[in-house]
Structure formats: structure tokens, C-alpha cells
Amino acid sequence: MSISEEQVRHVALLARLKLTDEEVARLGEDLNSILGHIDTIRQLDLADVPPTAHALDVVNETRADEVRPCLSREEALANGPEVAEGAFVIPRIVGGGDAS
């Protein structure tokens, strides 16, 4: 199977790409190469090969949960700029202003 220059230009138009004549020629060669590889794959007997999303099995490597010591409240609050009643003090960002 081969793709023509006209087909390359049509695909470019559908993709809203403005291509130069040089780009059309180069992309035509690339697309023909891709189609050649697809033809090679079509010749293989893949009837007993299950469809997959990945060529290799995807396995999540996770670590085991283990209890570890954490910061005390005092240690966590020690880095805050202002602390009151065991919590960080932050500027009010909602309400409290003029109603105008």
C-alpha cells in the first residue's frame, strides 16, 4: 500500500497543517514507511496472541506500609510564622471586609 502526495495533503488539511512541498514529500516517505511496517505485521499469524495495551506486563511496585514516627504538633508548628492555640495563624481571606 502506498500513500500519494494528494492523500498527504488531504490528511494535512484535515489536521489543519500548512505544509511546504518539501514537508509533503518527506511526510509521504515517512507515512509509506509506516504503512510498510503495518503490512509486515499483517502478514504475521497473530490469531493466538491476545490483545494487550502494553508490550510488557505493567506491575506496580509499592512498598509495604509501616508505622514510622511522625512530627509532634510542636515540631510541626515550630516552622510557622505565627501560631496560636495549637494552629497556624493565617490572614483572613473571606469576609470581614467592607460590604461595599
Determine, yes or no, domain membership for 53. Answer: no
Question: If 0-12 CB within 10 Å is exposed, 13-18 middle and 19+ buried, where does residue 85 land?
Answer: exposed
Mean pLDDT within 77-100? 82
When the pLDDT of each residue in the chain is averaged and rounded to a whole number, the result is 89
Q: Is residue 29 part of a domain?
A: yes
Count of domains observed in the chain: 1
Q: Does some domain include residue 20?
A: yes
Its domain, for residue 25, covers: 5-42
Contact 82, 89 (CB under 8 A): yes
Q: Whole-prediction pTM value?
A: 0.48
Query: Residue 33 is part of a domain; what is its CATH number?
Result: 1.10.20.60
Reported as a single tens digit per residue, the pLDDT across 19-61 is 999 999 999 999 999 999 999 999 999 899 888 888 888 888 8
- What letter represents residue 71's amino acid? L
In whole angstroms, how far apart are CA 36 and each of 3, 42, 86?
Answer: 11, 10, 69
For the chain, the distance separating the N- and C-terminal CA atoms, rounded to the nearest angstrom, is 72
